[in-house]
Structure 1
Amino acid sequence: MSQSVHVRAFRNLLGDGGVVDDPERIATYTTDQRQLFTGSTFAVLKPATTEQVADMLRLAAHHRIGIVPQGGNTSYCGGATPDDSGRQIIVSLERMDKIRELDPIAMSISVDAGAILKNVQEAAAAVGLLFPLSLGAEGSCRIGGNIGTNAGGLSVVRYGMTRDLLLGIEAVLSDGTVVSDMRKLRKNNTGYDIKQCFVGSEGTLGIVTGAVLRLVPLPTRRATAWLKLASGAPLAELLSLVRRESADLLTTFEFMTARSIALATEAMTGPPSVRAGSGGAVLVEFASSSRHLDLEDLMEAVLAEAIETGWIEDAFLAQSGSQRTAMWRLREAIPEGEKRRNGSVKHDISVPISCIQRFLDLADTQVRSYDTDLELSVYGHVGDGNLHYNVLVPPAVDRMEFTKRIESSLSLKLYDTAAALGGTFSAEHGVGRFKKHLLERYGDVGRIAAMRRIKTAFDPADIMNADAIVCPLVEKSAR
């Protein structure tokens, strides 16, 4: 059956607004977020309901058409981009963006998987609650993609990853079977926790169409401080001190090197005057919904104790909302600063918190041994062991060629070091297509075998996002 016939069949199911087959419009969906790869597809499908998703997948399964689910297309690993065969079709959930139910007493929100993260946050805030998942792409990324990549972000140190915020799920398997478990229960011990199979699956097991998410009280008070680190300051010990003395009110502990801060400053209009110490800087924030806690006094006491250790050269406590916003703008401008500098080769490293300094020391030696002229931008959510260890692309150098060279050589040395310390090559970005070979290189044999069995059970024909993460045990029949 020709592709044009397939398009007509999908249009009969989804309506005219549910199918995009104009090449110019399709082009906006086929390149990954980092512009490292452009795939090919003959159409983009936009179902509006779970029932339409089920009908669409039944038709795709019947004709062995490969499916690539796509949320906001913000994946760093090519997990939402079709291959270049032209035989996979993109399924965008952008029309499934409703808030289904908000229960302030149960502190839960039920949403379509196409709901934009920022909209979910705002819906929760309107009733005095917080959905604590927070990341740079929150204005465009969608809940289904957050679940598919187990997104992390800026508040993991207190609230956890996406999997920790997921109470219930609705998903459709490759044969059109609807898995419905949209309960807003904190306790539900009734067999296998099927929803967790879809967390981190990046669309390889089915299409998530709905989710019940955990909310928390909306913080009404915050204390935010900028810490100028002394050279050799032990990040793990400093974090431990701050967490202990803040009664675990810590929501953010973001580390930045001087180079990262300089890049962000160059990319900003009216940057704040804060700078790095000889060891970099840390952005610390406490948050509480209580009217009875004086967070500024608490922060001052914690900072005074930290300064006594000699780990901090100086500290600045935000005195207003505008000062707090300026500090956050600087932290969030780092990726844009790298991009303006000609980009970077990104390493989403995760190591045990106690090994962060050891990794930084070993990695620095490896980089200098590889090429003393390389520049680094190192920052990240070290409160949860996540470092973005990025190698800057030199000016006037082809970004793609440089990326290929680094990823085939230096990157593997860095990942070897992380693995030797009990860490991994992907903290929060996922695996997708770009890092599949790294999973095969560093993954436990038994764990990969179990993943392949799960893939086979859920999607035996390999229709769902084929060639992302793992392949099924059976030979592939759809791409």
Structure 2
Amino acid sequence: MSDPSSRLSPFHALLGEGGVVTDADSLIRYTHDQRALMQGQTPGVLRPRSTEEVQAIVRLAVHLGFGLVPQGGNTGYVGGATPEPGRGQLVVSFERMNRIRSVDAAGFTLACDAGTILADAQAAAEAQGCLLPLSLGAEGSCRLGGNVGTNAGGLQVLRYGMTRDLVLGLEVVLPDGSLFSDMRTLRKNNIGYDLKQLFIGAEGTLGLVTGVVLKLWPAQTRRATAWLQLAANAPIPEIAALVRRETADLASTFELISASSLALVADMRGADLGLAAGPGGAVLLELSASSERIPLDDVLLGTLEALIEAGHVEDAVLAQSERQRREMWTIRETIPEAEKHAGGSVKLDIAVPTSAVSSFLERAGAVVAAEAPGTRLSFYGHVGDGNIHFNLMVPAGRDRLAFTREVEAGIAHAVYAVAVDLGGSFSAEYGIGRFKRDLLVRYGEPNRLALLSAIKRAIDPHGVMNAGAMI
């Protein structure tokens, strides 16, 4: 059998200087997953600059017998963008396909290449007086193709929905190198199956997303932000429902932060944060609007009064400046880094109906206390939409990878069982990737799994696209 690297010459000729990466040192950042749980392997990384080059890459890969793994910012948590050893997969990095194609401020749409960094797309929308509401902790490095492939959620799902709710059009290179192009900006378009939805959340297993059209909103020029200290046994679902009613759905974020998560941030900083959790934890609540005619501060104050009168909130701090608002958000966004600083965590990405959030936290906490006494929990997340990052901290002195394997083989299933019993899921926004394939089989309904496999076989019969991810 010929050396795989010698078979890359046609790709060098196609992509030119800088278009193919093969040296071992440079490959490292493409073959390690974001959480350093998997060491991948690839003969090379392909870096196209256009949709036409992606089409040519696919045709060449099929001809030469290579599989393809699409990669955006490589910020995923489930190994979906990591090439598997032994599969002969080339990584297709979209980092050079980062063009903003158009912004329609009157029609509130944005079209761009799949390799566009999310923060750059946000900035392009903002420059035209618009808001792209998709917002993630990794928005400075994640890319829109990856957001589409994983159906990313983030901080503002409560008000604006997941990525699939924001996508109006897609451009996708199919496994035979042909192009599915539906980059229309229509809000109403009933012409049969909504085919673009097949590729959203598919993690690159059906095709390579090269372009996307996204919905925009008017720029949110006014914000009112508060840090809430929750009372003991505060009913999270009732609080979230009250907030939505009292604010006329102007709440863009409702972030629960446990006292243990807050303590991790304080430990990392080695200083008092100036903000505290109540017996029931804390909530970072933000309202936003595009009109100065809406008295957001008054709306927020009235909502807080109702929460305090109901006994759900013990105290609240209102951000009096953009600096103070930013500090509140920095604390929330620093939690993953603080977990890492404390030795790491095993991240369970749970979704339950919003009405079941309190029940889940109570039951799952009891499961961990019974089966792994002394294990420190860090839970937080976008509970206004039912997404809880329920994380088990690595005990002092334990190897992170060994502890991760132990949790995933044991107690994680007990936690997932609680979520499933409440009508929930083991994956809220991380996806399936390579790390959760067994969970998809274990908890997936037979008909769902059969449909997934049938769709994969129909569109990618030879398994060219991201083999090993999801299916």
TM > 0.5 fold call: yes
Contact 1:268–1:330 at 8 Å: present in 2 too? no
The residue number in structure 1 matching 2:330 is: 329
CA contact (8 A) 1:267 1:333 kept: no
Query: In the aligned structure 1, how far is the partner of 2:417 from the partner of 2:306?
Result: 36
Deviating beyond 2 angstroms after TM superposition, the runs of 4 or more aligned structure 1 residues are 265-272
SS, match of residue 91 in structure 2:
strand
15-24 or 70-79, which deviates more: 15-24
For residues 167-187 of structure 1, give each alpha carbon's deviation from its aligned partner in whole angstroms, at most 9, with x where no partner exists: 000010111011000001101
8 A Cα contact 1:131 1:214, kept in partner: yes
Deviation of the 1:85 alpha carbon: 1.3
User: What is aligned with 2:193?
Assistant: 192
Q: Which residue of 2 aligns with 1:457?
A: 458
> In the aligned structure 1, how far is the partner of 2:272 from the partner of 2:387?
25
Question: How far is 1:265 from its partner?
Answer: 2.4
Asked whether the 8 Å contact 1:347–1:411 carries over to 2, the reply is: yes
* Contact 2:268/2:342 (8 A) holds in 1: no
Distance 1:100 1:297 in 2: 40
What residue in structure 1 maps to residue 283 of structure 2?
282
The answer to whether the aligner puts 1:391 opposite 2:385 as a matched pair is: no
What amino acid is the match of 1:91?
Answer: V
Once the two structures are TM-superposed, the CA of residue 364 in structure 1 deviates from its matched residue by: 1.1
Residue in 2 that maps onto 1:52: 53
Q: CA deviation at 1:294?
A: 1.0
Which residue number in structure 1 is paired with residue 417 of structure 2? Answer: 416
What secondary structure, in the 3-state scheme, does the structure 1 residue paired with 2:279 have?
coil
What amino acid does structure 2 have at the position aligned with 1:454? I
1:22-61 matches, within 5 Å, as: 22-61=23-62
Contact 2:5 2:44 in 1 (8 A): no
What is the rounded CA distance, in whole Å, between the counterparts of 2:159 and 2:24 in structure 1?
44
- Distance in 2 (CA, whole Å) between partners of 1:47 and 1:103 is 26
Tell whether the 8 Å contact from 2:225 to 2:284 is kept in structure 1 after alignment: yes
Which residue is 2:225 aligned to? 224
The letter of the residue matching 1:170 is: E
1:79-228 alignment runs, 5 A limit: 79-85=80-86, 87-228=88-229
Amino acid at match of 1:371: A
Once the two structures are superposed, the pairs formed by residues 344-383 of structure 1 within 5 Å of their partners are 344-383=345-384
Contact between 1:3 and 1:42, CA under 8 Å: does it hold in 2? yes
Aligned residue for 1:297?
298
CA–CA separation in structure 1 for the residues paired with 2:21 and 2:345: 33
For the 8 Å contact 2:46–2:93, the answer to whether it is kept is: yes
Residues 76-85 or 267-276, more deviating = 267-276
* C-alpha contact (below 8 Å) 1:272/1:327 kept by paired residues: no
Match in the other structure for 1:474 = none
CA contact (8 A) 1:42 1:86 kept: no
Instruction: Please name the residue that 1:5 is paired with.
Output: 6
Unaligned stretches of 5+ in structure 1? 471-479
Unaligned runs of 5+ in 2: none
Cα drift, residue 264 of structure 1: 1.7
Matched, 1:318 2:335: no
Match for residue 75 of structure 1? 76
- Where 2:37 maps in the other structure, the secondary structure is coil
Looking at structure 2, the residues matched to 26 and 146 of structure 1 have their Cα atoms a distance apart, in angstroms, of: 22
User: What residue in structure 2 maps to residue 405 of structure 1?
Assistant: 406
Letter in 1 for 2:161: G
TM-score, normalisation: structure 1: 0.97
Aligned equivalents of 2:399, 2:3: Cα separation in 1: 39
1:445 aligns with 2:442: no
Over aligned residues, Cα RMSD in angstroms?
1.0
Give 1:4 deviation, angstroms.
3.0
Conserved? CA contact 1:228–1:276, under 8 Å: yes
Matched to 2:278, the amino acid is G
Deviations 1:185-229 (A, max 9, x none): 101111111111111000100100000010001111100000000
Q: Is the 8 A contact 1:170 1:181 kept in 2?
A: yes
Alpha-carbon shift at residue 410 of structure 1 (Å): 0.3
| Whole-angstrom distance in 1 between the partners of 2:286 and 2:272 | 19
- What is the deviation of 1:16? 2.2
2:239 pairs with 1:235: no
User: Are the equivalent residues in 2 in contact too, given 1:39–1:86 (CA < 8 A)?
Assistant: no
Q: CA deviation at 1:2?
A: 3.4
| 2:383 alignment partner AA | V
Q: What is the CA distance between 1:267 and its match in structure 2?
A: 2.9
Partner secondary structure for residue 27 of structure 1 = helix
Helix, strand or coil at the partner of 1:448: helix
Q: Aligned partners of 1:202, 1:64: CA distance in 2, in Å?
A: 21
Q: How does 1:237-252 map to 2 (within 5 A)?
A: 237-252=238-253
Measured after TM superposition, the shift of residue 271 of structure 1 is 6.2
SS in 1 for 2:18: helix
Structure 1 Cα separation of the partners of residues 416 and 54 of structure 2 = 38
* Counterpart secondary structure, 1:361: helix
What TM-score do the two structures reach when normalised by structure 2? 0.98
Maintained 8 Å contact 1:264/1:335? no
